[in-house]
């Protein structure tokens, strides 16, 4: 099977490398030519645009920042729809607005192109080691057909429902992650202000009910002052914006999501939008006038 891959950013590049390592023939394109050259050096075939990718592949994966980028990659000039044959499958692994997933899928269906949405969770570390969590929406038979392909990049691949359901699950995930990081930041700020060592507080509580994968991943980064992005603040802002839009569309109140959006907007105003979302701790540090470190 020849697989197309469009989008070679922080997540897409290691995901693509794992496909190549697994023996898939991969055709790639990206606006970043250096990234294309790197992946071609790993054994991929470079292509000029999405249409050129689609002309060579029966299945194409997109991993791009947001809804407009998926629409452009799929339906824009030089996009997938221009080069794809009827029966081609688009697996969109980007995190986008679920209503756009449905709309893009409907446009592609007019051209005989199927689509499933399969956003991921786990950040750069899990993209590198191939243990991402993948949430899939679309036809069940397509999920079954491409399950093994997705598992090359993942530790778990779960079918959620119809097209768009994958992104609904991802938005739920992003709400929980953001609120969890904020809760950890708030708690460690309390510990520091009260004179306790944040590192020791973390060690004391991580094995109990408060412990979580988020805590274990992000607290060491906070304490070490390492904010190299595994997942950028600006991308989490994008996800929370999509969550708020989706919530408003179905009259689902999201008060905690709204608060986290304002916290992240504050971080963006302070110039931290390119940093890891563990930088949420910097919001608490600013308003508390302390630094959370041992």
User: What is the band of 147 on the pLDDT scale with cuts at 50, 70, 90?
Assistant: very high
- Locate the domains of the chain by residue range: 2-161, 168-288
Which string of b and e fits 24-52 if b means at least 16 CB within 10 Å? bebbbbbeeeebbebbeeeebbebebbbb
Q: Are strands 132-137 and 120-121 parallel, antiparallel or unpaired?
A: antiparallel
Q: How confident is the model at residue 293 (pLDDT cuts 50, 70, 90)?
A: confident
* Tokens, residue 40: 């071609």
Mean of pLDDT values over 121-143: 95
With bands split at pLDDT 50, 70 and 90, how would you rate the model's confidence at 226?
A: very high
Q: What is the pTM of this model?
A: 0.90
Give 62-94 pLDDT, tens digit per residue: 999 999 999 999 999 999 999 999 999 999 999
Distance CA 194, CA 190 (A): 6
Looking at CATH, the fold of the domain delimited by 168-288 is given as: 1.10.1040
For 121-138, b/e burial (b = at least 16 CB within 10 A) is bbbbebbbebebbbbbbb
φ/ψ (deg, to 5) at 202: -60, -45
- Alpha-carbon Rg for the chain, nearest whole angstrom, is 20
- Concerning whether 232 is annotated as a catalytic residue, the answer is no
* CATH for the stretch 2-161: 3.40.50.720
Per-residue confidence band for 230, with pLDDT thresholds at 50, 70 and 90: confident
Q: How far apart are the first and last CA of the chain?
A: 51
Active-site entry in 126, 170, 238, 282:
170
């Amino acid at each position: 099977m020849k697989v197309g891959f469009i989008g070679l950013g922080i997540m897409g590049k290691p995901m693509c490398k794992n496909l190549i390592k697994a023996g898939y023939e991969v055709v790639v394109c990206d606006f970043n030519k250096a990234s294309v050259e790197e992946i071609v050096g790993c054994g991929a075939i470079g292509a000029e645009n999405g249409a050129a990718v689609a002309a060579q592949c029966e299945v194409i994966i997109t991993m791009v920042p947001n809804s407009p980028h998926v629409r452009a990659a799929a339906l824009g000039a030089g996009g997938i729809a221009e080069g794809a044959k009827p029966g081609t499958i688009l697996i969109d692994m980007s995190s986008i607005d679920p209503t756009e997933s449905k709309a893009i899928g409907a446009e592609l269906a007019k051209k005989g192109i199927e689509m499933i949405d399969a956003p991921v969770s786990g950040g750069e570390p899990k993209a590198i080691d191939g243990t991402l969590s993948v949430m899939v929406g679309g036809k069940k038979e397509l999920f079954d057909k491409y399950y093994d392909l997705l598992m090359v990049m993942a530790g778990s691949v779960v079918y959620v429902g119809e097209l768009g359901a994958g992104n609904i699950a991802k938005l739920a995930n992003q709400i929980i992650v953001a609120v969890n990081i904020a809760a950890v930041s708030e708690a460690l700020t309390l510990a520091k202000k009260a004179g306790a060592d944040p590192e020791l507080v973390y060690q004391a509580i991580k094995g109990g009910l408060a412990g979580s994968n988020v805590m274990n991943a992000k607290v060491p980064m906070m304490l070490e002052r390492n904010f190299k992005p595994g997942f950028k603040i600006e991308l989490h802002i994008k996800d929370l914006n999509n969550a708020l839009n989706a919530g408003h569309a179905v009259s689902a109140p999201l008060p905690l999501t709204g608060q986290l959006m304002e916290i992240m907007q504050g971080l963006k105003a302070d110039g931290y939008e390119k940093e890891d979302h563990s930088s949420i701790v910097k919001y608490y540090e600013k308003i508390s006038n302390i630094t959370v470190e041992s």
